Amino acid sequence: MKTIVVLDDVNDSEQIDLMGVKYFGEGSKIIVTSRDRQVLKNGGADNIHEVYKLKENDSLQLFSTFAFKLLNPPLDFQDLSNKFLDYAQGNPLALKVLGSKLYTKSRKEWESEVDKLKEYAQPKISHILRWSFDELDELEKNIFLDVACFLKGELKDDVENVLSSLYKGALCGISNLFDKCLLHIDSYRFISMHDMLEEMGKDIVCQVSKDPGKRSRLWSLKDLNQVLKSNEVNKSIEGIKLNKSRVEELLLSCPGFKNMLSLRYIHFYGPHVIYGFFMPFLRDFHKLAVLANSVDSVSLPDELRYLCWDFYPFKSLSSSFNPKNLAVLKLRFGHMEQLWNENYKDLVNLREIDVRFCQQLRKIPNLSRAINLQSLRCTKCLSLVELPRLNHLTSLKKLEFEGCPKLKKFPELPNDFSELNLSHTEIEEVPDSIQLFVGLRKLRLRCSRVENVSSNISKLEFLRELDLSGCKSLKTLAELPRYMWFLNANDCKSLEKVSFTSHNVSSFHSLHDGDYASLDKRVSTTFLNCKSLNQDSIKNIESNAMLQIQSLAKRWARSKEIFGEEYIRASFRNQLFCSFPGDEISGNEFEHRSLNSWLNLKITTPNGCRGSRFLAFAIGLVADLAVVEVNHRISCKYQLITASGEKFTSDCRVFYGSDWRFDGYHVLIMFSEDMIIIDNDYEEASFEFKIQDDFGREYEVKECGVLVFFVDAESYTVSGCDGM
């Protein structure tokens, strides 16, 4: 017998089993509601649907139904109704409770209720929401309270980083809160939490005691002021987060945090500014820095695990501070001249150091004991002259020294780190020892004084990004790895010679990371405005681009077989772009050429090319884009025709440029996933190319060329009909 059953608010998958749902007749429907996604998974749910918050119009109607017994509020209550809607944020329970509470009340009483909203929680709503909190384990409760008090609205990766420094098993706890719908992540990967849950979390902390010194978390300047001035030993406070501009003058007159024995988290944040400063705030910062000159440092507790203090006003960290538990240290825009004296030894838990924009920092101290350090970021440390030896730090993965103009020597580094940024430094050479950095994936030397890059760079099998743009003294790039996702040598005005390794290194196709690896890949090789390049170098760049196209064609054809055309159309376009100075298309690489923006050609299937296959084509253009001052895009409209007259037409965007500046004519070689289609024995093809800016203005295509080739749908081998 067919049955329909609704199980509401299930919190244990065994409840589903006990109902005997597996014995219900064929075609039965069982609807289960739960506040925990994992319960539904464990219970064998076929489909899980998240209940989203109500849309604005639906929220208004529900609220009005209880507040006025009408579908819409009277005109003179619309403004106040919207304030309650903003508070409820689409939560049906809140809309119902608030509406019922306001029924038959006067406008004056409504206005009073609005004033109470942010100050006092609604008891009935809080009571129901509290059930979800009470069911959490201890780790989940701590994470929930940390997000409510400190971390709501932060990037997911940053939240995971912070919480992992505070708790073991934090990632599992975060995942559980997502499953229980207490946390959400938006389309930009920021952690979100309903305002009422945030309010409940803060209420839970405050309800412990009227004395802020007995609470676990502080986010109010008034509360922190009261605790610091009492100068009593405190074992309750575990975390503090405040705007730094409101707290530092207070700290200069207080003994600091030494007596907060359980304090593990400090975050004093400034304005989120990178290359510019908020000038009124900067004046306050200088005033505080002058005041701080009379105080060497502020005391810190030894339990501290996470310290983020933007515009840190003191000359160094306290000599009495033992960083044995410290995992994350962020002192961006700090006033310090050194981090600590060389007596600091116990750094075993330290994973991240971020001292970007600390313009008076002269050196990085001995980090020999920081064996778990993963990231060291020193961007724009203008006074930084000296680096310690880092080659023993085997956990180190990311190094940033961009904009440190006094750095002249390539640092000593561990073999297995992955990212290094030395842009805008005085470094003149990439030494032969570069071959030792076998794990290096990204190397940035933009606008440095590099004159020579060792040919040993060819031995870096995993190097995927190399940025040498603006290196005006660079003359030779020899033995470059062939299959990099990103190579930028734009504006290297002295560059004459470029060659690529002939070593049998991994191609894009062999680097396929399994059938469900990320398909979103944009391959870019650019030598914009490198007018000193000789002809052999240009041939090398062209030949390497065609090898990359073959490899990508195999990879993308395989992806189309696995995921299908609809998935590929829905994803961001995979594409290759290569450019260098020149005013003609190479006949060696592109047999079909035209001195117009369009061309027609005959397609000839090569001998032995039988069975199912993909038809693919790459394009080359010559254009002068020096006059383009805004974003520009290059599109290709093509039509394929079979012997019977059947036609296939497509219009695809093959490139989108933003901040690049061209000086004179350049050759542009392009390929995208839209240029791989299932071959239906097409015999003719026509192409039309267009270059437009964001205002719709068109720019001349001086010459165009097309390369046609095939990819076997079973073996993924490439066969060309134009000499490929």
Listed residue (541, 689, 560) closest to 615, CA to CA: 560
Measured CA to CA, the distance from residue 450 to residue 428 in angstroms comes to 4
Q: Pick the residue with more confidence: 712 or 205?
A: 205
Listed residue (298, 364, 351, 353) closest to 325, CA to CA: 351
Tokens of 716: 């993924």
In this structure, the chain runs to a length of 724
pLDDT tens digits along 111-167 = 888 887 766 666 667 766 787 888 899 999 999 999 999 999 999 999 999 999 999
Measured CA to CA, the distance from residue 380 to residue 2 in angstroms comes to 70
- Using CA atoms, how far residue 329 sits from 46, 308, 332, 352, 526, in Å, is 45, 6, 9, 6, 37
Task: Output the pLDDT for position 45.
Answer: 80
Which 3-state string (H, E, C) describes 666-717?
Answer: EEEEEEEHHHEEECCCEEEEEEEEEEEECCCCEECCCEEEEEEEEEECCCCC
514 pLDDT more than 70: no
Q: Report yes or no: 469 and 525 within 8 Å, Cβ to Cβ.
A: no
Look-up: residue for tokens 């894009």?
508
664-677: average pLDDT: 92
Task: Output the pLDDT for position 659.
Answer: 67
Q: Pick the residue with more confidence: 461 or 291?
A: 461
Measured CA to CA, the distance from residue 48 to residue 482 in angstroms comes to 46
Percent pLDDT > 90 in the chain is: 46
Q: For 6-15, 369-378, 641-650, which range has the lowest pLDDT when averaged over its residues?
A: 6-15
187-206: average pLDDT: 89
Measured CA to CA, the distance from residue 365 to residue 345 in angstroms comes to 11
**Cα end-to-end distance, the chain, whole Å:** 66
Q: Pick the residue with more confidence: 341 or 223?
A: 223
Listed residue (300, 356, 295, 299) closest to 325, CA to CA: 300
What are the φ and ψ backbone dihedral angles of 22, each rounded to 5 degrees? -70, -15
Burial classification of residue 469, based on how many CB atoms lie within 10 Å of its CB (0-12 exposed, 13-18 middle, 19 or more buried): buried
User: Which of 177-191, 202-216, 278-292, 651-665 ranks highest by mean pLDDT?
Assistant: 202-216
Listed residue (675, 682, 681) closest to 706, CA to CA: 675
Task: Output the pLDDT for position 115.
Answer: 82
Task: Output the pLDDT for position 520.
Answer: 54
CA 671 to chain CA centroid, Å, is 26
Q: Report yes or no: 440 and 458 within 8 Å, Cβ to Cβ.
A: no
Tokens of 189: 């990967």
637 pLDDT more than 50: yes
703 pLDDT more than 90: yes
Task: Output the pLDDT for position 165.
Answer: 93
What are the φ and ψ backbone dihedral angles of 149, each rounded to 5 degrees? -90, -30
Which 3-state string (H, E, C) describes 604-634?
Answer: CCCCCCCCCEEEEEEEEEEEECCCCCCCEEE
Task: Output the pLDDT for position 705.
Answer: 95
Average pLDDT, the chain: 85
Q: Report yes or no: 390 and 396 within 8 Å, Cβ to Cβ.
A: yes
pLDDT tens digits along 420-455 = 999 999 999 999 999 999 999 999 999 999 999 999
Burial classification of residue 396, based on how many CB atoms lie within 10 Å of its CB (0-12 exposed, 13-18 middle, 19 or more buried): buried
Q: For 459-463, 500-504, 590-594, which range has the lowest pLDDT when averaged over its residues?
A: 500-504
Task: Output the pLDDT for position 574.
Answer: 83
Q: Pick the residue with more confidence: 254 or 221?
A: 221
543-561: average pLDDT: 87
What are the φ and ψ backbone dihedral angles of 231, each rounded to 5 degrees? 50, 40
Reported as type and span, the H/E element at residue 466 is: strand 465-467
Reported as type and span, the H/E element at residue 266 is: strand 265-269
DSSP 245: G
Task: Output the pLDDT for position 236.
Answer: 95
Burial classification of residue 465, based on how many CB atoms lie within 10 Å of its CB (0-12 exposed, 13-18 middle, 19 or more buried): middle
Confidence of residue 275 (pLDDT cuts 50, 70, 90): very low
Q: Pick the residue with more confidence: 506 or 365?
A: 365
* Beta carbons within 10 angstroms of residue 695's beta carbon: 7
User: Which of 248-262, 283-297, 505-519 ranks highest by mean pLDDT?
Assistant: 248-262
563 pLDDT more than 60: no
Sequence letter at residue 238 = E
Task: Output the pLDDT for position 504.
Answer: 53
DSSP string, 570-596: HSPPPEEEEEEE-SS--TTT-SEEESS
87 pLDDT more than 90: no
Q: Residue 670: which residues within 8 A CB-CB, separation 6 or more?
A: 575, 576, 577, 578, 618, 619, 620, 621, 634, 654, 655
Measured CA to CA, the distance from residue 398 to residue 412 in angstroms comes to 14
Look-up: residue for tokens 């002269």?
362
CA 403 to chain CA centroid, Å, is 22
- Using CA atoms, how far residue 177 sits from 124, 151, 216, 409, in Å, is 23, 14, 20, 47
Look-up: residue for tokens 């010459």?
703
Q: Residue 432: which residues within 8 A CB-CB, separation 6 or more?
A: 454, 456
User: Interior CA angle at 515 toward 512 and 516, to 5°?
Assistant: 105
Alpha-carbon dihedral sign for residues 489, 491, 492, 495? positive
What are the φ and ψ backbone dihedral angles of 538, each rounded to 5 degrees? -65, -40
- Using CA atoms, how far residue 18 sits from 15, 48, 603, in Å, is 5, 20, 67
Task: Output the pLDDT for position 511.
Answer: 42
Measured CA to CA, the distance from residue 207 to residue 148 in angstroms comes to 15
60 pLDDT more than 80: yes
Q: Pick the residue with more confidence: 109 or 39?
A: 109
Task: Output the pLDDT for position 621.
Answer: 96
Task: Output the pLDDT for position 344.
Answer: 65
The CATH topology of domain 125-206 is Arc Repressor Mutant, subunit A (1.10.10)
Percent pLDDT > 70 in the chain is: 86
User: Interior CA angle at 184 toward 60 and 140, to 5°?
Assistant: 125
Listed residue (653, 687, 691) closest to 672, CA to CA: 653
Measured CA to CA, the distance from residue 212 to residue 206 in angstroms comes to 8
CA 461 to chain CA centroid, Å, is 25
656-685: average pLDDT: 87
572 pLDDT more than 50: no
Q: For 267-281, 329-343, 546-560, 610-624, which range has the lowest pLDDT when averaged over its residues?
A: 267-281
Listed residue (598, 585, 638, 596) closest to 615, CA to CA: 638
Listed residue (367, 411, 418) closest to 393, CA to CA: 367
Measured CA to CA, the distance from residue 548 to residue 540 in angstroms comes to 12
602-629: average pLDDT: 83
Q: Report yes or no: 216 and 145 within 8 Å, Cβ to Cβ.
A: yes
